Amino acid sequence: MDRASVLRFCAAATALLFSTQAAATEFVIVGPRAMGMGGAGVAVTTDALATYWNPAGLAMTQTVDIRIQAGGQGIDRMGIANAIHDLENFNVNDTSAGNLANAQNIASRINQPGANVSMNGSAGLYVKGHFGEHAFGINVSDVATGGSFVSTPVQATQPGGPNTPISLTGQMALRGLEARQVALSYAYAFADKTFAIGMTGKIIQGAAYNGSTTLTGGTDVSLRDNFGKPVLSTALSLDLGAIYRPSSWLRFGVVAKDITQPTFKSQSGELKLGPQVRGGMAVNPYSTLTLSADVDILSNNTLVPGVKSQLLSLGAEQTILNEFLSLRLGAFKNMQDPGIPFTPTAGLGLRMYAFRLDLGGGYDFREKGALASGSLSLTF
């Protein structure tokens, strides 16, 4: 494949992308290595997880890789989880004016603009193989996104008048989408791995959730059990990716996910996944140190109204003793929410012969959000 073919490939991908609207869900950070490096994986992922991050990465190394991974992230905005906890512990039988004021304070904290919960997660089996410069991959995985937000504002009243039990009630909406998928990837590298291109075809079963839960003072609130029965539908989708390595110490990558805009049924209509477009860069100042950065080129919608996602991710990895130990640090920031600082992340990897264990995680000290991931793999 020559450079003219690459240019035609990139031009076709660009035409597909910008002829559609950007209505994607957020880009989920999949795998502990990328998570430990702040979510920067487009230019550095060359193992079986490249079937998710950037299929072109499959062709950058000639290895066989088999791995399982699972991870998740939760974000509590404006302290709504603590406010709901106080609502659960509220004593409705204390009829004093002071307790009514406490109820009104709880209601105002839950009702404040921007108070919501977002969550995402992933799990699956990922496999990579190669035949010369041709690389192949498959994953059987589930990538889920969701959230909850106030749909009926919480009200604090005394319906029976002064010195009667206090009513503290409202309602939260619950939204979720699971993308249960089988993905097949192909990648090709040429010019001594100066260029690589790849594509991933996916069969996705979408499971759309649309539920609600009542908020009542003095009563436990259950989110997980009230998402409702999912509406199932199936769609096909396509990811395209490319990597350019102008020198041994520098790589650039770009991936466009779901460019065919798969559409799934839900109780409230249709959910359309628009393209996610993400670029990345990796630098190796020396052979055991990798510095990486990713950015979402397009902003992505989420299932929580008014919340958008456009991540800037930064990361570093230092390997020790021929990758027996890998130490990772990183940070990421949602550029669509300038008031929120970077979220720090960290991770490590242990390798013994073909076996590898990787762990990664992070914590948002301001919004009380947490993320964690782990994987086991065999690489030959």
Containing structural domain, residue 234 = 3-78+116-144+170-379
pLDDT digits (tens, 9 = 90+) for 64-107: 999 999 999 999 988 999 999 999 999 999 999 999 999 999 99
Residue 199 lies in a domain: yes
Residue 157 lies in a domain: no
What predicted TM-score, i.e. pTM, was given to this entire model? 0.91
Residue 97 lies in a domain: no
* 27: CATH: 2.40.160.60
Check whether 349 has a pLDDT greater than 80: yes
- pLDDT at residue number 163: 87
* Contact (CB, 8 A) for 262 and 206: yes
Residue 302 lies in a domain: yes
Structural domain total, the chain = 1
- pLDDT at residue number 360: 98
- pLDDT at residue number 338: 75
pLDDT digits (tens, 9 = 90+) for 221-242: 987 789 989 999 999 999 999 9
The CB density around residue 268, as the number of other CB atoms within 10 Å, is 10
Residue 211 lies in a domain: yes
* Contact (CB, 8 A) for 278 and 300: no
Residue 247 lies in a domain: yes
* Contact (CB, 8 A) for 56 and 109: no
Q: What is the average pLDDT across 186-215?
A: 96
Percentage of the chain lying above the pLDDT 70 cut: 94
* Contact (CB, 8 A) for 363 and 369: yes
Check whether 263 has a pLDDT greater than 80: yes
* Contact (CB, 8 A) for 344 and 331: yes
Residue 215 lies in a domain: yes
Q: What is the average pLDDT across 354-360?
A: 98
- pLDDT at residue number 1: 42
pLDDT digits (tens, 9 = 90+) for 168-183: 999 999 999 999 999 9
Give the residue carrying structure tokens 């494949």: 1
Average confidence score pLDDT of the chain: 92
Residue 154 lies in a domain: no
Q: What is the average pLDDT across 11-16?
A: 41
